[in-house]
Amino acid sequence: MKLIQLFLPVYDRHGQPFPRAFFDQARSELTERFGGVTAFLRSPAVGAWQEPGGAVCRDDVYLYEVLADALDRVWWQAYRARLERQFSQDVILVRVSDTEVL
């Protein structure tokens, strides 16, 4: 089984929150496709990374998780690209790991 995690930015580049509808749409789409989703929305996670020039960037993100029997890499690449356009992001982090449900 695969655990797939999406990290969606809370704010745009100008510090304005993205519309709630963006997050509701992602939740609905993932629930429809995978039969459920867990969305961590109450306390955004804080991400930080260093740019090539040395500047440290920060981002507040909501974490969405789904479980799938297998990884449909083509679907996830297309979905991530659509989210990147919708959220005006260079990259939206999507990661996958093997998991076992007890």
* Residues near 67 by beta carbon (within 8 Å), at least 6 away in sequence: 1, 2, 3, 4, 34, 36, 99, 101
Q: Which residue has the higher pLDDT, 18 or 54?
A: 18
More confident residue, 69 or 53: 69
Average confidence score pLDDT of the chain: 92
Domains of the chain: 2-98 (3.30.70.120)
Tokens representing 8 are 């969606």
Residue with tokens 């440290």: 56
What is the DSSP annotation of 57-95?
Answer: EEEEEEEEEEEESS--HHHHHHHHHHHHHHTT-S---EE
What's the pLDDT band for 85 if we cut at 50, 70, 90?
very high
Task: Please give the model's pTM, rounded to 2 decimal places.
Answer: 0.86
Per the structure block, which two tokens stand in for 60? 């507040």
* Across 44-48, 50-54, 76-80, least confident range: 44-48
Task: Look up tokens 């690209």; give the residue.
Answer: 81
Q: Report whether pLDDT(46) > 80.
A: no
Q: Please give the pLDDT value at position 22.
A: 97
Window from 14-23, 45-54, 78-87, 91-100 with minimum mean pLDDT: 45-54
